[in-house]
């Protein structure tokens, strides 16, 4: 049986092919799953998708009509999947509930330090043999306060790095993480965390309750010289409101690895096209903003774990087994 994998990156392809070689034939496509590409899956019982796939009701209906019975998404988040439609169509949906939290936490810190120490601006200057220091002054993280919104595995890993820098820790979550408390983290209401933190990092899932968690009101409550980092999901931040605050000259730096309208943009080469998204186009012009293309998870370790878990999900589906990765079980 051939498995069809959508949205496969060039670096990811050999890992997928190697992982499946003892089990199934796998066909890797670099196109992303949406209503236009869904008919390609006709005749494939199992489809694997990437984080930016469109798995709304319309796409699921096309897949089901073509014979697809199982979708194995290669990500933890599943806000892009209409689970009710999948259940109605009798489709099994699985995701990867765990992979290296260090990949995302370390990248979040890379963003924080890059905007704090003006690394991109400095690198651009030195390529032009401009070695001035004007405008490159940053701040010590030691002794300052890190606010962590979401203290699960990734948030905990981020907090451990902050602790290593010698920072004070504030946390916000629906439940306290004992490991974070041991590091000295104090859990406080979101408004207090935002008002007191020099660095705010987001590590919560995207769901209706967290959509625009950082909205206009939240942004105004943050310190003018704060650093904001989002390596979780773009929809956590109201980007239009963020642009408004940046235009007012606020924030030392903003590091974004995700964007709320990234589907159809991220993971693709748009360098020769006019970008119709005015908000994103304006966002990347700010000298204190660094935007990357949803790459925080993209390490050999994390991608390897994601691929291995995807293989296991497929084997479990075949055997009728159910694991914590299954969002909609086999009917």
C-alpha to C-alpha distance for 95 and 314, rounded to whole angstroms: 10
- Tell me which residue of 163, 166, 120 sits closest to 140, measured CA to CA: 166
Task: Identify the active-site residue in 74, 260, 262, 330.
Answer: 262
CA 134 to chain centre: 33
Q: Is 233 a catalytic residue?
A: yes
Q: Is 260 a catalytic residue?
A: no
Q: Is 294 a catalytic residue?
A: yes
HSE at residue 183, side-chain half, CA atoms within 13 A, is 27
Q: How far is CA 83 from CA 94, 230, 299, 314, 329, in A?
A: 10, 26, 29, 18, 11
> What secondary structure letter does DSSP report for 33?
P
CA dihedral over 227, 182, 305, 93, signed as positive or negative:
negative
Contact 66, 40 (CB under 8 A): no
Task: Identify the active-site residue in 74, 95, 196, 294.
Answer: 294
Enumerate residues 6+ apart whose C-beta is below 8 A from 254. 115, 227, 228, 229, 242, 246, 286, 288, 289, 290
- Dmax (CA) for the chain in angstroms is 65
Task: Identify the active-site residue in 95, 233, 250, 330.
Answer: 233
Structure tokens at 2: 């051939």
**Catalytic (active-site) positions:** 233, 262, 294
């Amino acid at each position: 049986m051939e498995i069809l994998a959508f949205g496969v990156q060039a670096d990811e392809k050999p890992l997928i092919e190697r992982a499946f070689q003892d089990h199934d034939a796998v066909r890797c496509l670099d196109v992303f799953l949406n209503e236009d590409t869904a008919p390609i899956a006709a005749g494939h019982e199992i489809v694997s998708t990437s984080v930016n796939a469109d798995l709304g009701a319309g796409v699921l209906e096309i897949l089901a009509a073509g014979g697809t019975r199982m979708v194995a998404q290669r990500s933890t988040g599943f806000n892009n999947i209409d689970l009710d439609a999948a259940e109605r169509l009798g489709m099994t949906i699985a995701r990867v509930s765990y992979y290296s939290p260090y990949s995302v936490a370390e990248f979040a810190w890379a963003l924080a330090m890059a905007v704090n120490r003006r690394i991109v601006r400095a690198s651009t200057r030195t390529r032009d043999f401009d070695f001035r220091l004007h405008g490159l002054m940053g701040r010590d993280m030691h002794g300052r306060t890190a606010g962590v919104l979401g203290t699960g595995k990734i948030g905990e890993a981020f907090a451990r790095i902050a602790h290593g820098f010698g920072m004070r820790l504030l946390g916000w979550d629906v439940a306290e993480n004992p490991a974070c408390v041991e590091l000295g983290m104090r859990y406080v209401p979101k408004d207090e965390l935002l008002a007191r933190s020099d660095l705010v990092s987001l590590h919560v899932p995207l769901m209706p309750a967290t959509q625009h968690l950082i909205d206009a009101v939240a942004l105004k409550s943050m310190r003018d010289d704060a650093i904001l980092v989002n390596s979780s999901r773009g929809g956590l931040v109201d980007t239009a409101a963020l642009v408004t605050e940046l235009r007012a000259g606020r924030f030392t730096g903003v590091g974004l690895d995700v964007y709320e309208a990234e589907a159809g943009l991220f993971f693709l080469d748009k360098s020769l096209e006019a970008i119709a998204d005015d908000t994103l186009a304006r966002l990347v012009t700010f000298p204190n903003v660094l935007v990357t293309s949803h790459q925080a998870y993209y390490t050999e370790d994390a991608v390897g774990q994601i691929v291995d878990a995807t293989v296991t999900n497929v084997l479990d589906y075949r055997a009728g087994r159910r694991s914590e990765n299954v969002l909609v079980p086999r009917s």
